[in-house]
Structure 1
């Protein structure tokens, strides 16, 4: 169980960082300097990490007996730039 939670924390951190890179670096490169390549790369990585995060949140919620409310908050935090960090700090 400890290994599963550690893996989820890694995925959570990577998902949050990929979202911040997408919003803070890739999107300005695309829309300000007309360089869309980074959005394709970071966007794909973020998409995969997002799906892993949601699946991991569901799995970890079962392991830790989270309420439905905690699970919904954890999933909603995945669409906020610093949300996964909140979940790590408060729920794991």
Structure 2
């Protein structure tokens, strides 16, 4: 686990994991609580946390893309698109980031 923090790709993988977990928690836990149980407290708390992790993921993706000279049309857009899809960051981690 400590080895992930030594490289930019490792940090991106870790942030991607956090982003994926926060997105799943927001979609499958906080939003049902807000709309079905009329309790918006978790979404008010988790929403900004997810937003901050989302932005951190985007900035780190661009940083890694510049360092590794990724072409936007081939790799960068796939990694950015992954953070919009539930389970997307886990898929990208397995298919692209793990190999770096």
Normalization by structure 1: what TM-score?
A: 0.92
Q: State the partner residue of 1:85.
A: 90
Distance in 2 of aligned mates of 1:86 and 1:63: 22
The DSSP-based 3-state class of the residue aligned with 2:7 is helix
1:43 and 2:40 equivalent?
no
Q: Which runs of 4+ in 1 moved over 4 A?
A: none
> Which residue, 26, 33, 38 being the options, matches 1:29?
33
Q: What RMSD, in angstroms, separates the aligned Cα atoms of the two structures? A: 1.4
Aligned length, in residue pairs: 92
More displaced 10-residue stretch of structure 1: 57-66 or 23-32: 57-66
Q: How does 1:49-68 map to 2 (within 5 A)?
A: 49-68=53-72
Which ranges of structure 2 fall in alignment gaps of 5 or more residues?
A: none
The DSSP-based 3-state class of the residue aligned with 1:19 is helix
> Which residue, 74, 80, 89 being the options, matches 1:75?
80
Report deviation, 1:67: 1.3
